[in-house]
């Protein structure tokens, strides 16, 4: 994903956390913050050390990024959101990752209604 689509700075992460607007399932947690007038969404991805070593964490992040690229047309544009992987996300196949991430994004109302698969 291009840099303009990323939440990178610690202060930006904290601003989203401080909204206390989160939705979760067993595999992922999504924090979101409304940003009216923004041209496109911005996302931050966090995978903690409970997932495993760096290889496993990067593997999980790649799958999250790929899922977000696939659902990008349905994502709302006026939000910054964070995707945090829980330890249960380690070892998921691509299909399971997409299913669980789409589920939590729908619960957070970040996907348009037309995204029903």
**Model pTM score:** 0.86
What does the pLDDT read at residue 18? 84
What does the pLDDT read at residue 8? 77
Are the C-beta atoms of 62 and 26 separated by less than 8 Å?
no
pLDDT tens for the chain, 117 residues long, are 676 777 778 888 788 888 878 899 999 999 998 888 778 888 999 999 999 899 999 999 999 999 999 999 998 888 889 999 999 988 889 999 999 999 999 999 988 765 444
Tell me: the pLDDT tens digits for 55-80?
Answer: 999 999 999 999 999 999 998 888 88
Q: Residue 48's closest CA among 2, 95, 96, 84?
A: 84
- Residues in the chain, how many? 117
What does the pLDDT read at residue 13? 77
Are the C-beta atoms of 28 and 88 separated by less than 8 Å?
no
Taking the domains of the chain in order of start, what are their residue ranges? Answer: 10-108
Q: What is the pairing mode between strands 79-85 and 28-34?
A: antiparallel
d(CA 66, CA 85): 14
Q: Name the CA radius of gyration of the chain, rounded.
A: 13
Q: Which CATH architecture has domain 10-108?
A: 2-Layer Sandwich (3.30)
Q: Which two tokens stand for residue 108?
A: 């957070």
């Amino acid at each position: 994903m291009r840099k303009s689509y990323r939440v990178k700075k610690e202060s930006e992460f904290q601003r989203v956390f401080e909204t206390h607007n989160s939705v979760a399932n067993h595999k992922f947690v999504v924090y979101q913050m409304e940003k009216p007038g923004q041209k496109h969404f911005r996302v931050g991805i966090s995978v903690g050390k409970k997932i495993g070593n760096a290889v496993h964490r990067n593997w999980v992040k790649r799958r999250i990024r790929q899922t977000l690229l696939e659902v990008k047309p349905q994502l709302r544009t006026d939000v910054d959101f964070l995707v945090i992987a829980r330890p249960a996300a380690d070892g998921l196949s691509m299909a399971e990752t997409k299913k669980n991430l789409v589920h939590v994004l729908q619960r957070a109302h970040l996907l348009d209604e037309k995204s029903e698969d």
